[in-house]
Amino acid sequence: MQPVIRHNLQVPEGRLSLRNKILTLLVIAGTFIGFGFPLPRLLAYSVIREAIRTAAVLETWNWPQVVGEHFIVRYSPAAGEEEMARMVLENAEEIYEPVVKAYGYKSGKKILVVVYPTREALGRTFGWDADESAMGVYWGGVIRVLSPEQWIADQDKNQIKSVFAESGPMAHEFTHLVVDYRTRGNYTRWLTEGIAQYKEWEVTGFQFDEPGANLDQPLYPLDQMDEEFDNLPNQALAYRQSLLAINYLVEKYGENKINVLMDELGKGLTMDQAFTKVFGVNIITFEQQWQQWITANWQMPKKSEWAISKQPV
């Protein structure tokens, strides 16, 4: 169960805190429960995720909080942070309905969001270096975000609110949470990154704008993205490919098929099995067709508003 990071295309590797290393070992141990039997393994994952979520709730039990219909936002008692927390809560509630309407997910409890006043405070939670540039992280049923004031260079609160709504991490990280719960943790990194970017683009209009994402270069094979996503040297390209994989599936099969895919993964099917059942092609055939689609379309703006026609090249 790896932390899923927003707005940091160079994902840190191997720098979890001692507490999180212990929890990660529990996750690894859980994968061996019912080894070869997917349902016990997925059940173990769900139990461990709940343990991680509960640990975060207990760690922040005495933090100030603001509460909405679907989210609890906890924040540092530092001066001015309540205003930032309310800004985060308002944005979270705004993006909630579009995401759950698309992917049919309803949480049975309010979702915890923790706002950190500095990059260092957020980084300490995961044992990251002080220069880590993450703005948002989803892990273990909890969304953690950097205070908007720390990355939006504006003193006007209305402007900060506007920028946060347009390019903040809430839609992205909440979609990661939905994918995690709907699939019961049975997904590849490129799949969750693709779905999160697709829905974020649809809800807020935001897209990563990185020169390294130019598609006029060799693409990463999906099996390499499955196994080495965080260590790939061109993170911008890995993220772009993930987004375009979902673009292709939505354009060819319809967005509802993404829901069906998540349902089948949540039953314990492998990616290859789920793709064959839902789309009628295995992963190898999908990859071939998808890359042909990219070659044919990525330089050709289309009347439809798919992200592929809006990528900087």
pLDDT tens-digit series, residues 176-204: 999 999 999 999 999 999 999 999 999 99
Per-residue confidence (pLDDT) for residue 37, from 0 to 100? 56
Intervals of the chain under pLDDT 70: 1-39, 79, 128-133, 298-313
Per-residue confidence (pLDDT) for residue 95, from 0 to 100? 97
Contacts of 36 (CB under 8 A, 6+ apart): none
User: Domains in the chain, ordered, with CATH?
Assistant: 4-178 (3.40.30), 186-310 (no CATH)
Q: In what order do the strands lie in the sheet with 4-6?
A: 4-6, 136-139, 142-146, 111-116, 71-75, 65-67
Parallel/antiparallel/unpaired status of strands 65-67 and 142-146: unpaired
Per-residue confidence (pLDDT) for residue 310, from 0 to 100? 37
What single-letter amino acid sits at 223?
Answer: D
Contacts of 118 (CB under 8 A, 6+ apart): 146, 147, 150
Per-residue confidence (pLDDT) for residue 306, from 0 to 100? 41
* Cα gap 279→258, rounded to integer Å: 10
Structure tokens that stand for 132 in this block: 């880590």
Dihedral over Cα of 28, 30, 34, 36: its sign: negative
Per-residue confidence (pLDDT) for residue 13, from 0 to 100? 35
**Within 10 Å of residue 250's Cβ, how many Cβ atoms?**
19
Cα distance between the two ends of the chain = 33
Phi/psi at 190 (nearest 5 deg)?
-65, -30
Phi/psi at 301 (nearest 5 deg)?
-55, 140
Dihedral over Cα of 166, 137, 126, 235: its sign: negative
Per-residue confidence (pLDDT) for residue 244, from 0 to 100? 95
Residue length of the chain? 313
Parallel/antiparallel/unpaired status of strands 142-146 and 4-6: unpaired
